[in-house]
Structure 1
Amino acid sequence: MREQKVLGEERRSLILDILQNTRSPVTGSELAAKTNVSRQVIVGDITLLKARNEPILATSQGYLYMPSTTQNVLAERTIACCHSPEKTEEELNLLVDHGVTVKNVRIEHPVYGDLTASIMVANRKEVKQFMEKIKSTKAGYLSELTDGIHLHTIAAQSETILDEAEAAMRDADFLVDLA
């Protein structure tokens, strides 16, 4: 931890450097400790960096630098799901066990319209961390606002993997029957 505050542009440059050189999420508290400022200052810095089109993703585990890459093109799709809050961990584990990354959750709220929240889980450890954060903060799930109906953007290395994961979701009765 630094003894002096890192100021303005120097701090944002340092934050960007840390995020670009770290593969795992970095929490706002970690960034605050490294720059000797409050977590709220970091939230503002991240907002400014995003406004400059820096590809920073805020996840439940922390911030990630996500440059677009053409080398690792992923297949991606949106699936419509419905289940009770108690089934969330089972749903996420089923998807990641099939080699899928769950990028986000989206609902259609009657007042606010589309609401999307980043999830970014790709393995059971990340699912466990996500679930622990939900429990420790006593936060609700977006899907609780829509009687369990929600969308997930899922990504994988191929359409085949997505097909298999979607079939497993259907078999587990997690998908909304659109017929």
Structure 2
Amino acid sequence: MKDDRKISGADRRALILERLKESADPITGKSFAAEANVSRQVIVQDVSLLKAKDEPIVATSQGYIYLKQESEEAVYRHIIACNHTSEQTWEELTTIVDHGVRVSNVIIEHGVYGDLTASVRVSNRKEVDQFIQRVNETNAAYLLELTNGIHLHTLEADSMDKIEAACRDLEAKGILLQ
């Protein structure tokens, strides 16, 4: 028998925090909503309240994640500038992740709002496919469409060699801006 009781706001937010801290994978708002017997919009509001209390929760195309403290392993970060069409997004992202590099975000310089940053957080082809599928399902525009294809990515890897190899491949494909 299904329990149709709603979980109170404070208990819901505690549940969201606990599950996110324990999970290595993103958790969707839809999943939280079903568990708490509330709408996804209520979960979005709960997450906003948690973020306002400085909880490091990030919304990705795969769901919510809790940014854990950096591990002892060194993480190398590098920001690259790219220019390509929306149709080349899959090629760009798979070129990067195939080198063992994570695409952390996308950044554009908007004429009115200044720098706009959005989480991407893909590190393998499956995550890239899910990201592209989510964009297509929602008819969302890629941020690069606001800047005629020009955008930045923050790349992360356990060695600078991996990032440099990804950049060489992007340059060979005409995607990397120099």
Q: Is the structural similarity TM-score above 0.5?
A: yes
Contact kept, 8 Å, 1:106 with 1:152, in 2: the verdict is yes
Deviation beyond 2 Å, 4+ runs, structure 1: none
Which ranges in structure 2 are unaligned for 5 or more consecutive residues? none
Q: Distance in 2 between matches of 1:2 and 1:154?
A: 44
Q: Number of residues paired by the alignment?
A: 177
Q: 2:146 is aligned with what amino acid?
A: L
Contact kept, 8 Å, 1:101 with 1:120, in 2: the verdict is yes
Q: Does 1:135 align with 2:139?
A: no
Q: Does 1:102 align with 2:103?
A: yes
For 1:24, the equivalent position in structure 2 comes to 25
The SS at the match of 1:40 is helix
Q: Distance in 2 between matches of 1:57 and 1:35?
A: 20
How far did residue 76 of structure 1 move? 0.5
Contact kept, 8 Å, 1:2 with 1:34, in 2: the verdict is no
How far did residue 144 of structure 1 move? 0.5
Q: Deviations over 1:81-125 (max 9, x none)?
A: 000111000000000000010011110010111111111000000
Q: 2:169 is aligned with what amino acid?
A: A
CA-based RMSD of the aligned residues comes to 1.1
Which ranges in structure 1 are unaligned for 5 or more consecutive residues? none
Question: TM-score, with normalisation over the residues of structure 1?
Answer: 0.95
1:2–1:20: structure 2 CA closer, same or farther, 3 Å change rule?
farther
Structure 2 matches for 1:46-125, cutoff 5 A?
46-125=47-126
The SS at the match of 1:89 is helix
Question: TM-score, with normalisation over the residues of structure 2?
Answer: 0.96
